[in-house]
Structure 1
Amino acid sequence: MITNQQQQVIIDHLRPLRPYRIGVFGSFARGDNKQDSDLDILVALDYSLKPSLLDLVAIEQALTSALGIQVDLVTEKIFAPLY
């Protein structure tokens, strides 16, 4: 599980992207994370801002640094069907 402090750090770092939904999945969500577990974050974004892949990678790296945990940041678009 993530702490309230970690939750606030995540929100603060993602705020510039105007997310309308943020979720944690994987071992942290299940509560069975270990010392070397990564933190999987799923975010639904306001794409009118047109965030680039570099923007997302920069935020992922900033979160990893701020939290001291490897962060994997994914957007809901990975679940969109391919046409």
Structure 2
Amino acid sequence: MKTLEEIKQALASQKERLREEYQVEELRIFGSYVRKEADGGRDTDILVEFSKPISLFTFLELEDHLSNVLDVPVDLVPKHGLKPGIRNRVLAEAVTV
């Protein structure tokens, strides 16, 4: 199982490509990895903000790309899609890459 720091480093190494190919403005890790509750069977929760709108196909392609980079399943969540009930908690715990 990867550590939070290993995940951050892997994502940081992709920043330029993510910006150019997927219009990624910002990535943040949240959830079990940040709370140190992750085990081998969990996915990695990643909050994403885009510089401009992308298609659903591109979003799914990005999620798949990040899963391959991290070698773990990724649950990609657009920042604008956070539900009001969890928005503040997610933003408070999220770690910027």
Common fold by TM > 0.5: yes
2:15 alignment partner in structure 1: 11
2:48 alignment partner in structure 1: 43
Normalised by the size of structure 2, how large is the TM-score? 0.66
Percent of residue pairs bearing the same amino acid type: 28
List aligned pairs for 1:21-60, cutoff 5 A.
Answer: 21-47=26-52, 50-60=53-63
Where has structure 1 moved over 4 Å in runs of 4 or more?
Answer: none
Normalised by the size of structure 1, how large is the TM-score? 0.75
Gaps of at least 5 residues in structure 1 are none
State the alpha-carbon separation in 1 of the partners of residues 26 and 54 from structure 2: 16
The structure with higher relative contact order (CA 8 Å, sep 6+) is 2
State the alpha-carbon separation in 1 of the partners of residues 18 and 59 from structure 2: 9
Gaps of at least 5 residues in structure 2 are 85-97
